[in-house]
Every structure is written in structure tokens, then in C-alpha cells.
Structure 1
Amino acid sequence: MAQAAQKAGGLATRLVNTAKGIQSYSTPRLQTFWKYAKVELRPPTLSEMPQVQEGINNIIVSARTGKWKKLTVKESLINSVIVLECIFCFTLGEIIGKRSLVGYNIPGAFYPSS
């Protein structure tokens, strides 16, 4: 009985020390994450809309002039990964929004066979 109490006390001490280590390891990284998340994840303000419009126009001009043909393999790969990330985020949002993996529930659109 006494040995079990000692083992439990030792386990509790190790858990507390591990939790302190995890907290001291993650605190600076979490602060860095929040610093960038506040800047990068906010929607554009009205004063930034001309820059957004200019960026979209640059993409359209690049597509028309064939500038995309002169990209390096690395730039193409990075652009492809960004596009895939956008598609996956949109798809995940749709799945969460409709609360189903397949299709929307439209009342009256499906008549089960009797």
C-alpha cells in the first residue's frame, strides 16, 4: 500500500514536470503563431481593396499574356499547393456547413420509392 502511494506521488510529480516543460516549450511558439495569425488571418479592410483588385487584375493579365508558361518548377509547385489548399478548405467548409459528406438535404427534391 505504501509503495503504491509512493509510485502515485512520483507519477504525479513527473506529470507536473512534464506539463511545465510542455508549457515552457510551447509558450514562445504560440506567441509567434498569434502574432502572425492576427495579421494574416484577418479579412482585408476597405483601404486594402485597391491592392486586392490590383492583384486580381495582375492574375488576369498574366493568364492572358502567357506569363504562367515562364514559371519555374518550384514556383509552379508552390502555386499548385496553394490552389489545392484553397480547394480543400472550401470542400471542408461545405462538408461542415451541410453537416453531411454527400449532398444537401432539399425538402421535396427526393421521393423515396415505396
Structure 2
Amino acid sequence: MASLVAKIPAAFQSAKPGLLTAWKYAASELRPPTPGEIPKAIGGILGLVGSFGKVSWRKLTVKEALLNTLVAAEISFWFFTGEVIGRRHLAGYKPGFGYKGHH
């Protein structure tokens, strides 16, 4: 037990550089947008939606097509994960849970 306790400070020291790097990125990526950034984000989304029908899928490079596919897969994953969390069951809705319906 004493040897395990002696290794804890060394483990913290070896993990410290990685944790500092993770904290640096988390502090910038996980903060809410500032009021000045909101119009930029809305403009970016509107530009993306506006260009959706203008770009032919035949003119995409393989890398762009792969990235678009990965983004769509990630969005689908989080949508279906939210559905499972929302209904609190993996397979489907449980009868009698939540909405009671007409009897």
C-alpha cells in the first residue's frame, strides 16, 4: 500500500503537461459564444445552407466527400443518442411511460 501511495505524486507530475494542454483547448472550445461571435456564426450557417444546392457532389474531392460523410454520421449519431436518452430506453418507447393517451 505504501508503494502505491508513493507513486501517486509521480503519476500527477507525468499527467500534468497533458492536462494543461487539454485545459487550454477546453477553455477556448467549451466556452459559450460572445455576443460578437453570434452574428458570425449565424452568417456562417446561412452561407452553408445557401451553398448546399449550388455545389455539385461530382466536383468534390475525395477528402471533402469523406469529411462531409463523417460530419453527417456524427450528426446522425448524436441525434439518435439524444432519442435514446429522451425515451430512456434503448429499443423503443415503453408502454405506459410518460404520455398516457386515451383510455
Partner of 1:29: 18
1:1-114 aligned within 5 A: 12-13=2-3, 15-66=4-55, 68-101=57-90, 102-103=92-93, 105-109=97-101
- Larger-gyration structure (1/2): 1
Normalising by the residue count of structure 1, what TM-score does the alignment of the two structures yield?
0.66
Identity of aligned residues (%): 39
Q: Alignment partner of 1:25: what SS?
A: helix
Normalising by the residue count of structure 2, what TM-score does the alignment of the two structures yield?
0.71
Q: Which runs of 5+ in 2 are unaligned?
A: none
Which structure has more relative contact order (CA 8 Å, sep 6+)? It is 2
| Inter-CA distance 61–72: structure 2 relative to 1 (3 Å threshold) | same
Rounded to whole Å, the distance in 1 between the matches of 2:6 and 2:98 is: 54
Q: Which runs of 5+ in 1 are unaligned?
A: 1-10
What is the number of equivalent residue pairs in this alignment? 100
**Larger helix proportion, structure 1 or 2?**
1
Task: Give 1:85 shift.
Answer: 2.0
